[in-house]
Amino acid sequence: MKIKFIYLSVITISIIALIVSCAAPAQQPSTQVESVKKPSAIVFYQMLDISGPYAADVQGAIASTNDAFDYLNAKGGVDGVPWKLVYRDTGGDLKAAIAAYEFFKTQDPPPLLMQITESATNEALKDKLVEDGIIAFTSGAVPSFIYPPRNQYSFVPSYPDVCGYFMDWVVATQPKPIKLAFLTWDSVFGRAILTDEVRNYAKEKGIEIVAEEVFGMTQMDVTTQLTRINDKGANWVYSNILGQGEAIVLKSAQQLGLLGKIKFSGCQWTMLKHTLIKMAGPLAEGYVAPSHLRNWEETDVPYIKLMKERIKAAKGEETSNWLQTLGFFMMATDLYKGAIKEVGWEKLNAEALKRQAEKLNKYDMGFTYLTLTAKKHENIWVRMEQVKDGNIIPLEDYKIAPNLAPVQYR
């Protein structure tokens, strides 16, 4: 009996010790960062899909972020305070992303500014970000979380706006009649273009939408959907997917012999060299899509030149991630500097950063221009691009995309 009690006591004490050691001091969810004197670092909390379906696009994110921080910290960071990265892999799983957000929220210092790439995660966190006093920049704007304007900002135009821009271009430059079909991913991101605003805009432009088809993000063949689209007489197909998805669409079209008969386009994330051109190869030749991104071939742009040098030194790859990361953190540094100038370190909070963000007007991020307002938390700048000889070539200069936000928020 005595030995049993000793065993039990040891086990009980061990369990208590384990829980106490795991537990941090009680914290209340902070809505504002108060009494922050100059911190030792600005910690940037990043949730990334390194091992899931978005991994191809996120490739290089950690290396490029660390490189960006090296560059910015060498220039004094934010008012002498260096940037520091803390990240978590989500594997593309929404629940893991939410868990990562909850983890970041309880860290010291708590996050003020984050970058959330996946649309479903943005959708799930839209109200929590407001409650927790955190602003998030996203690389994909879906109207359902961008409107009404909350704490999320997109440095790309929303998917309906981009689709609207494509419609403007196709009507202005291509033979008529335009019979358009949507072939998009069955997700928050993919379905972002299936809105009444987009359908009405097509009607306004004289474009007939003949089909709306969806497919799974991991599906490797869309011949069934393309057969139906072909039967309905479509001569253009537009997809709100990533470059690897567009490669699957083009390969399926080739199998059906539809490549010459139907023309293909998609949102800005289809037009990527390291996914679309790498995976579709010669099938991507002639592919057109609207994009907010500058290209690696535009070496006359100082930012592109700088990035090429840094990639060479860091042994990185010319991916969209490397292209955008430094530009994003240059902008974030400017936001922090502006906010600190306005309210000081002590009163630095999400509201101060929001005020700075909403002042950005054709701000040159290096890889794109950025305009944000209190009413429109999404970028407006976009241009048409085409794949030629395995490279992405701009067909025109940046223009303002049509505003296809829900009518009540225009």
Partner 1 sequence: MAINRPCGTYDISYDQDMAILRTRLQWILLIGSLILLLTLPLYSSNYLLYLVNNICITLIAVVGLNILMGYCGLVSIGQSAFMGIGAYTTGILAHHFGFPFWFTLPCSALMAGIIGVIFGLPSLRIKGFYLSMATLASQFIIMTLIMNADPELTGGASGLSVPAPKIGDYIFNTQPKMFYLIVPLTIIMIFFSKNIVRTGTGRAFIAIRDNDLAANVMGVNVFKYKLLAFFICNVFAGVAGCLWAYLMRSINPEQFTLLDSVWLMGMVFIGGQGSIVGSIFGTIFVRGLDELVKTITPFLPALIPQLKAENVIGFGPVIFAVVLIIFLIYEPRGLAHRWEVFKTSYRLNPFTY
Q: Which residue ranges make up the site for partner 1 (CB under 8 A)?
A: 3-4, 7-8, 12, 15-16, 19-20, 22-29, 50-51, 55, 59-63, 86-89, 91, 93-96, 98-100, 102-103, 105-106, 120, 123-128, 131, 142, 144-145, 186-188, 190-191
Instruction: State the Cα–Cα distance between residues 81 and 244, nearest whole angstrom.
Output: 39
Residue closer to partner 1 by CB (options 66, 223) is 66
As measured in angstroms, the least distance from the Cβ of 127 to partner 1 is 6
As measured in angstroms, the least distance from the Cβ of 14 to partner 1 is 13
Instruction: State the Cα–Cα distance between residues 397 and 49, nearest whole angstrom.
Output: 32
As measured in angstroms, the least distance from the Cβ of 260 to partner 1 is 33
Residue with token string 């240059």: 330
Residue with token string 């005595």: 2
As measured in angstroms, the least distance from the Cβ of 10 to partner 1 is 12
Task: Please give the order of strands across the beta sheet that includes 263-266.
Answer: 208-215, 179-185, 236-239, 263-266
Residue closer to partner 1 by CB (options 182, 363) is 182
CA dihedral over 273, 279, 282, 287, signed as positive or negative = negative
As measured in angstroms, the least distance from the Cβ of 337 to partner 1 is 28
As measured in angstroms, the least distance from the Cβ of 188 to partner 1 is 5
Cα 65 → chain centroid: 15
Instruction: State the Cα–Cα distance between residues 117 and 25, nearest whole angstrom.
Output: 31
Residue closer to partner 1 by CB (options 42, 125) is 125
Residue closer to partner 1 by CB (options 110, 402) is 110
Residue closer to partner 1 by CB (options 116, 178) is 116
Q: In DSSP terms, which residues pair with 239 in a beta bridge? A: 266
Rounded to 5 degrees, what are φ and ψ at 156? -120, 150
| Cα dihedral 146/148/149/154 (nearest 10) | 10
Q: In DSSP terms, which residues pair with 263 in a beta bridge? A: 236
CB 272 within 8 Å of CB 284: no
As measured in angstroms, the least distance from the Cβ of 208 to partner 1 is 23
Instruction: State the Cα–Cα distance between residues 9 and 3, nearest whole angstrom.
Output: 10
Q: Pairing relation of β-strands 83-89 and 42-48?
A: parallel
Q: In DSSP terms, which residues pair with 381 in a beta bridge? A: 400
